[in-house]
Amino acid sequence: MAEDAVDAAIKSGNLNPSSGCLTRCVRIVGGEGWEPSSFTVLAQQYKRMKSTHGGKVVPGLMDSAAAKHLSRAYGSVAERVAAIAQNEGLGKRLAHGYPYLEAEVAYCARREYCESAIDFIARRTRLAFLETDAAGRALPRVVEILANEHKWDQSRKKEELKTATEFLQTFKASKNAQFHDGKHK
């Protein structure tokens, strides 16, 4: 994407670069040593917390969906996220039906400069775009974890929740604006 953006800027600005693109040789964080089968290590070596039918939270093996997600999203540093899930009790899923774990919120706050709930639900996981209601249900926990990581006070937590909820409402408002009396505008 970076190469495409720079190429578009060069073309648009009628620029004459002094060298070719270097990004082909640069690996992003987590790219070094990653392989498509890397998720199997996570599934075998790490646990996540899950609720049983009785509501009790117990450790269980990391399921392959969560392991695949972590591996694809974080590459070779996925084990850092899995370790947070296992060692800090942040292994629960944020939203039913999605592989996103609480540990990702903490990791993103610590290592990827995630500074807001909107940043997490929209940019880090894209949950806001995948299912607005699921993102809304995950918000209180996302805010709580970010608050713990960034030492937010109650007013900041309240503001984050309000701002992120309003952000999610814009998805519903734009969806409703496309339809009128059941007919597409």
Digit-coded pLDDT (tens) for 31-64: 576 667 778 888 888 766 566 667 676 666 678 8
* Residue extents of the structural domains in the chain: 93-185
CA-closest candidate to residue 18, choices 10, 8, 26: 10
| 57-to-90, 99, 132, 138 alpha-carbon distances in Å | 11, 17, 26, 17
Digit-coded pLDDT (tens) for 59-98: 666 788 899 999 989 988 999 999 999 889 898 999 999 9
Stretch 133-157: mean pLDDT? 98
- Residue 138 CB neighbours (<10 A): 26
CATH of 93-185, one of 1.10.8, 1.20.58, 1.10.10, 3.10.20: 1.10.8
